[in-house]
Structure 1
């Protein structure tokens, strides 16, 4: 029942916004690129809105995304402390739950994270990017708290980033993940629990995979024989 009430709460909010902006669902669909049937089901409480939909609603109406996530029933405020250990220790479990509930579009999220990492890779090679990493990383870690594979990986990446022996290419890749974690422009905002740091964890995994591929490139088959 709680999911149903949350969906209806979001539906009422969307109806009011559409009325305020003199928009039909069809026009709203055209301008956001979200299928009209999906919009209709969300508004009528027959479908849970995915995080990507909520982000699109926020961007379209110029309203903080937090309001849409709250209306959809995501968890905020003091309750977030209860989820820290789960976030850091069970990223894969959280991801599976979200996928099974149709609340998480892995391909969409992965593509957006890769785009941001590419931008941060260049930024990490600038003086400003380096300053942000060296000055702000430890403070952000203290804000997050907790232990687990996600934090362990980040700490190791930070240590490697600071080593003078680390190559320029590796430092740029490491820096991209660290900047993604430090800066508050995540694909999934950090205040959304229990999934707020899921995209940071995905970003770390993507960068670690790239580093691994650089060190151990796939062997090409010899077809000459």
Structure 2
């Protein structure tokens, strides 16, 4: 029995797309790597899809993932509504993320983001690095239509980065977070909007924590 209207809509949508493209669930299974039984349960409302399922179905049925997300009952404004950078720890944010994404190794996600931030810190202090941030930040903001998760926080970070009065260490930390947002090397692809920005959220939170340690004289 179907659980709710959203899952019913998703099932109807997938069935319609399969029919239009002369595909069976078995064929979709071969294309996506998702078990046929799993696809059947999703279509019939017996199993809620995760973001990975929807991304693969979107890719192979040529349908925007946003349509599948809405049909499946996902709230595309979930980040701004449910996650607070100021009040939550990185662990809290990770816990929120795992409600929406199939992330089995949470510690690895944080370690991977931290590794990238560390790598970007020194580059952010070079003339080439600073020029790349100046040149590409506004373009990336425009690409997400200025409404992605924590855009205001990113804009504030950019303003601070451009401020000549900040310390070298502060500029390096801020630059690392801005690079993470600008560059397309995310752990979770940005095209899974808005869920593709979860790792950017973690990067921003880590940056904020590092800046806080400077303020509290806990870091060189």
TM-score (norm 2): 0.59
Which runs of structure 2 are paired with 1:1-225 in the superposition (5 Å)? 3-75=3-75, 80=77, 84=80, 86-88=82-84, 89=87, 96=95, 99=98, 103-107=100-104, 110=109, 125=129, 127-133=131-137, 135=138, 151=153, 155=156, 159=160, 163=166, 165-166=168-169, 173-179=176-182, 186=190, 188-190=192-194, 198-205=198-205
CA–CA distance in 2 between the matches of 1:58 and 1:137? Answer: 23
CA 155–3 in structure 1, closer or farther in 2 if over 3 Å, else same:
farther
Question: Counting helix residues as a fraction of each chain, which structure ranks higher?
Answer: 1
Cα contact 1:177–1:207 (8 A) shared by 2: no
**Deviation at residue 6 of structure 1 after TM alignment:** 1.5
C-alpha distance in structure 2 between counterparts of 1:159 and 1:108, whole Å: 33
CA contact (8 A) 1:186 1:200 kept: no
TM-superposition CA deviations, 1:102-127 (whole Å, max 9, x none): x421248949x85xx69x95899384
C-alpha contact 2:173 2:210 (8 A) present in aligned 1: no
Gaps of 5+ in 1: 217-225
Cα offset for 1:60? 1.9
TM-score by length of 1: 0.58
Which residues of structure 2 form unaligned runs of 5+?
Answer: none
Q: Per-residue deviation at 1:188?
A: 4.2
SS in 2 for 1:47: coil
Distance verdict in 2 for CA 1:146–1:204, change over 3 Å? closer
- Summarize deviations over 1:14-71 as a string: whole Å, max 9, x none: 1111111111112111111112221111011100111221122222222221111111
Q: Is the 8 A contact 2:14 2:43 kept in 1?
A: yes
